[in-house]
Amino acid sequence: MDSLLFLSQRIPYPPDKGDKVRSYAVLRHLAKSWRVHLGCFIDDPADWQHVAALRRICADVCCIGLSKRWATLRSLSGLIAGTALSVPYFRSRPLARWVDHTLRAVRPQAAFLYSSVMGQYLPSGSAERPPRVVMDFVDVDSVKWQHYAARRAWPMRALFEREHRRLLAFDRQVAARCDAALFVSAPEAALFRRLAPESAARVHALSNGIDHTFFTAEAALANPYPTALRAIVMTGAMDYWPNIDAALWFADHVLPAIRRQEPQATFVIVGSNPAPALLRLAARDGVQITGRVPDVRPYLAHAAVVVAPLRVARGLQNKVLEGMAMAKAVITTPQGFEGLEAQPGRDLWVAEGKDAFCAATLAVLRDEGAAVALGQAARAQILRHYDWDDKLRAYERLLVPLP
């Protein structure tokens, strides 16, 4: 087997949040035909227990603990250096030493980098650089910071605008040094081609897949809800600002109108590390906060409707794919729908604004037959377009292109 250097901003296991779903699927696939040398960060202490699982499929694993508090303080050095704050946030001398040693001692034939900030660890124009380098940007993160800025007051608005500009400049430098730059959807790839025209020929769209044998309504999953409860479910990492914003918006502006007409409707927020603002919602009637759960599927399987009310989003939303794979009626916003191969009104509902979102949710709650039909169409669309095997073969072709 040839050797592959695989760098990821977060440990790619377990696949329990958006970025880890994609990174683990790629890692597991590539480990079948490459000797993988994995370097990554661990920002959640609960994830240290999973290092052993990665050692079973990788030739070498280097995990570096990341304290969010210290990383935030370290990121401020970017203000002095004139760089994006995200770059020093993920800077580590131990990881840099491990990468340098791996490049010299192993001489990997290729490198796969997951998230642009990992590009800082790969030398450019040196003998140690692997012959083939593929960068998976996933999303155009710099634009996400621009969207954050639009929703914040000064001085955070100015800081986020700065991050947008500096991260885009950094991403362009990284893309120019790679052989292939990957994005999770055609709209994301097209956007980056416009923002970085010098790298347009190297940009590829490669969407996520989903394990539809795991996420299936046919699995025997116990109902986690009281019998009378009609669950409106949102899933995701609940310390991630776009998810926090979405859940708060739905709870404040959509749920009250729903409950006036459907008193048994309950907004169930399922996901790890809920932010304090979300925890406070638990005091309200009609809201439940689960925190981290061992398996999200029971909460989806027994939901009356799955919602993804995202107002800020980039790329393809795994929470939407999972709900569709479980044959559930899914309602999302135009932001949550972007990049998805599906037909609104047939495979899911797309609603913009609180009134439209409320009306769509009530329609699903009141018409079980329509909800079932929507879920069945969603499942069929997942089977047609989101099989992981098809996606993963493309990674091999990019790492070892035909002569």
pLDDT in tens, 291-331: 999 999 999 999 999 999 999 998 899 999 999 999 999 99
Q: What is the mean pLDDT of residues 138-144?
A: 95
Please give the pLDDT value at position 358. 98
Please give the pLDDT value at position 401. 66
CA 226 to chain centre: 30
Sign of CA pseudo-dihedral 237, 239, 241, 243: positive
Does the pLDDT of residue 403 top 60, yes or no?
no
Q: What is the mean pLDDT of residues 102-106?
A: 96
3 is written with which tokens? 């050797």
Please give the pLDDT value at position 400. 85
- Residue 18 identity: G
Does the pLDDT of residue 125 top 80, yes or no?
no
pLDDT in tens, 159-210: 999 999 999 999 999 999 999 999 999 999 999 999 999 999 999 999 999 9
Q: What is the mean pLDDT of residues 220-225?
A: 92
Q: What is the mean pLDDT of residues 135-153?
A: 94
pLDDT in tens, 318-376: 999 999 999 999 999 999 999 999 999 999 999 999 999 999 999 999 999 999 999 99
Q: What is the mean pLDDT of residues 82-95?
A: 97
CA 78 to chain centre: 25
Please give the pLDDT value at position 102. 97
Please give, one letter per residue, the 3-state secondary structure of the chain.
CEEEEEEECCCCCCCCCHHHHHHHHHHHHHCCCEEEEEEEEECCHHHHHHHHHHHCCCCEEEEEECCHHHHHHHHCHHHHHCCCCHHHHCCCHHHHHHHHHHHHHCCCCEEEEECHHHHHHCCCCCCCCCCEEEEEEECCHHHHHHHHHHCCCCCHHHHHHHHHHHHHHHHHHHHHHCCEEEECCHHHHHHHHHHCHHHHHHEEECCCCECCCCCCCCCCCCCCCCCCCEEEEEECCCCCHHHHHHHHHHHHHHHHHHHHHCCCEEEEEECCCCCHHHHHHHHCCCEEEEECCCCCHHHHHCCCEEEECCCCCCCCCHHHHHHHHCCCCEEECHHHHCCCCCCECCCEEECCCHHHHHHHHHHHHHCHHHHHHHHHHHHHHHHHHCEHHHHHHHHHHHHCCCC
Res. 43 pLDDT band, cuts 50 70 90: very high
56 is written with which tokens? 């079973």
Contact 250, 281 (CB under 8 A): no
Contact 275, 239 (CB under 8 A): yes
Q: Closest Cα to residue 360, out of 384, 334, 396?
A: 334
Does the pLDDT of residue 402 top 80, yes or no?
no
Does the pLDDT of residue 148 top 60, yes or no?
yes
Q: For the chain, what is the mean pLDDT?
A: 95
Domains and CATH numbers, the chain: 2-209+387-399 (3.40.50.2000), 230-385 (3.40.50.2000)
Q: How far is Cα 81 from Cα 77, in angstroms, rounded to an integer?
A: 6
Please give the pLDDT value at position 17. 84
